[in-house]
A and B are shown apart, each in its own frame.
Chain A
């Protein structure tokens, strides 16, 4: 593509390309910065896309690129698949989508390293440091690739959401990890060793599967965030391989983003990253402690009319949504209820726990889809002091995030997890199908409190009944 340029321009072309990469880097950083506020986020994302476009276009002028058929074919196929998936995906399925895109990104980075290894043809000519980066790039990229596909399968339900474990798994995985690092060393020592190369590739793919399989479905927000970080690292490593600063910087930015989100998710569940990755939390075995609890305690059931009346006479209502709301596809009906209440002069807010959805911030997206304005959505820290002055709290499809045992019982598996202080409110109403325990498999004493009422049934049906009742009041 650079042939038509005058020789004087061709001579400085590599420098021009690098300068444009620098520009693209700046555009990425500006884009991510703008992603930090709801008002500017959309333009931030578009800016980042522009940065990517600039980077791709200028790369096409690279003098090493001679043939364009495969490039065009690849871009057309990839764009078609990506665009189709992006248009079709349901907002509830966002975590799966991010997981699978992640996997493709990681896979691409591993392929770039592999392609570079093959392209050089005589790897013995490579310096040791290049072989180290190729090995690491393949390692991280492959783990991201298979790990993301397992996470996708778990979220979709193709693979059991329960932790899948076998005895000695953690030790086995640790040995494999050390083994691949030794293999990277071997490859550096003997670059002509195809065996070392293929073992790194194979074991890394296996490691991705083995490290995600033992993690429970409830912990997927952490896993997706972490895999997101890995995909950034993989891109960065690929940048080391091909000596490209744009890749190194962009990859590092993504790696940092993923790490921060991983940390936020871990804090929200009061678990360490180590415990999430190796603890195999959230199995079926804990359900046996469930039924024992509800024999001696009673719950107060309520009806749609009663809920409607209580809400109308309230000054302030806070809605605490959980993933159950999204499963029941009840966001839109919920918004209707909230609108009706606001028309009657009731102040309505939404309180959102960081792990309310299946990935960080998922619930906010689901409510945004139902046209709930974002300035009505409050984080846990913002809303918690508010519950004291609230008349009615509607808890819909959420359980563990409002379980007071997190504060009161040191023996509880969720002890120490920050929760929504809904029991500070005058009245709480829990919308639930049954008294069954949530993800963590533990009973919730909130249900038996005197200030609490239960509204049993499917969230969507229940909310529809309340809209009806509100019309009649």
Chain B
């Protein structure tokens, strides 16, 4: 099985897992879900690390550096702001009554 076909299998199966996982999320959580998922899409940082860390091609290194900056903004900002939001979600407790 060629690499591309194998990767396609992984992609399609993961998409189904994603649909299953997310279709049950209540509307209350849609914004944190989106910003959390957004942070996860910064996983592309892993590709950026390899490109910035090799030493064969200097120009590629610079591109890799930019990719790391972009992806890290996405990852760090995304997870932090999601945490900030979710911290505010509270159940009604006794102190409120």
Spell out A's residues near B (CB within 8 Å): 28-29, 31-33, 35-39, 41-42, 44-46, 48-49, 52, 55-56, 59-60, 62, 64-68, 70-71, 73-75, 77-79, 81-83, 85-87, 89, 91, 94, 97-98, 101-102, 104-109, 111-112, 114-116, 118-119, 121, 129, 132-133, 224-225, 228, 231-232, 234-236, 238-261, 264, 352, 354, 357, 359-362, 364-365, 368-369, 371, 373-377, 379
Contacts and interface: CB of A to CB of B under 8 A. Distances in A.
* Interface of B: prevailing SS: helix
B28 A118 contact: no
A108 B84 contact: no
Contact of A82 (B12, B23, B67, B77): B77
Interface residues of B, number: 86
17 contacts: A36-B21, A41-B89, A52-B40, A65-B53, A75-B72, A89-B81, A105-B38, A107-B70, A114-B63, A118-B59, A224-B34, A239-B44, A248-B7, A248-B11, A252-B18, A373-B91, A379-B28
A260 B7 contact: no
A101 B83 contact: no
Nearest to B27: A379
Nearest to A39: B91
Given A78-B71, A240-B4, A240-B7, A111 B35 contact: no
Interface in B41-92: 41-57, 59-92
Contacts of B11: 236, 240, 248-249, 251-252
B54 A119 contact: yes
Contact of B86 (A41, A111, A235): A41
Given A52-B42, A60-B49, A248-B10, A256 B87 contact: no
A39 B29 CA distance: 11
B85 A91 contact: yes
B25 interface: yes
A59 B49 contact: yes
A376 B85 contact: no
Contacts of A102: 38, 41, 74
B38 A231 contact: yes
B81 to A, nearest CB: 4
A373 B66 contact: no
B34 A112 contact: no
* Interface of A: prevailing SS: helix
B70 to A, nearest CB: 4
Given A36-B21, A41-B86, A257-B22, A105 B44 contact: yes
Contacts of B88: 365, 368-369, 371
Given A64-B54, A67-B53, A244-B46, A82 B41 contact: no
A260 B22 contact: yes
Given A119-B57, A239-B44, 5 more contacts: A68-B53, A105-B74, A115-B67, A235-B41, A365-B32
B51 A112 contact: yes
Contacts of B76: 78-79, 82-83, 86
Nearest to B92: A373
Nearest to B97: A342
What are the nearest 6 A-B pairs in CB distance?
A: A78-B72, A256-B18, A361-B30, A74-B68, A82-B77, A65-B53
